[in-house]
Amino acid sequence: DTVGNAEYYVAAYEINAILASERDPQAATVSARENYALPTFEETRNPSGYLVNILSTIVAPADYELSVTLTDRVSSSSFTQKKTLSLRDARRDRWPVGGPMFFDPTADAPGVPRFERNGMVLVPSVTRAFAASKDRIAMYLEVYRDVAPGAALLEITAEQRFGRKRQVDTIPVTSPDNLIPIVYKSELPGFKTGEALLRVH
């Protein structure tokens, strides 16, 4: 594609997400269309290149099947991925915790911020793999206190059976706000390459 005298490599795509429950095969639908332009062919082959899209909707607590379809609007080819979701009723918990959402603490948000929450711009990390570097793990959570006044402690436990490594961090939650954002980062010192179990409670 050409804009003025400059040439760009442009992709045009559409994302469609459908939430289906036992009672309703289309409990919610949401979609987005976007164009993505890059100035050089080499950048189209960059394996570290990415574009973050976030689709939001409101549904009642229930068990759902999420179906997400990505369609290339140039070639009309598409790819669909499905996943089961269990959305709980947060009002039944004393201190409901939302998330976690893992993010890349070293990434710059490309173009318009895709995820901005409580004044923070975060680039989601869609994989659950973390590099052996500073801030090996970084995640964003929200604690909702309007159903349970007072103070609480948020405990984050990382455990790796291979190597028998365990780390426990405690975060005091004392803000008077109804929505309390929590950003947690850790180098996970002593953890080896391999699988680890993370608990938030």
Q: How confident is the model at residue 200 (pLDDT cuts 50, 70, 90)?
A: confident
pLDDT in tens, 50-97: 677 888 888 888 999 999 999 999 899 999 999 998 887 766 656 678
Q: What is the pLDDT of residue 91?
A: 64
pLDDT in tens, 6-36: 688 888 999 999 999 999 999 999 999 988 8
Q: How confident is the model at residue 138 (pLDDT cuts 50, 70, 90)?
A: confident
Q: What is the pLDDT of residue 6?
A: 61
- Out of 109-118, 140-149, 150-159, the most confident range is 150-159
Q: What is the pLDDT of residue 68?
A: 96
What is the average pLDDT value for the chain, to the nearest integer? 80
Sheet hosting strand 137-144, strand order edge to edge: 97-102, 137-144, 179-186
Name the residue type at position 123.
V
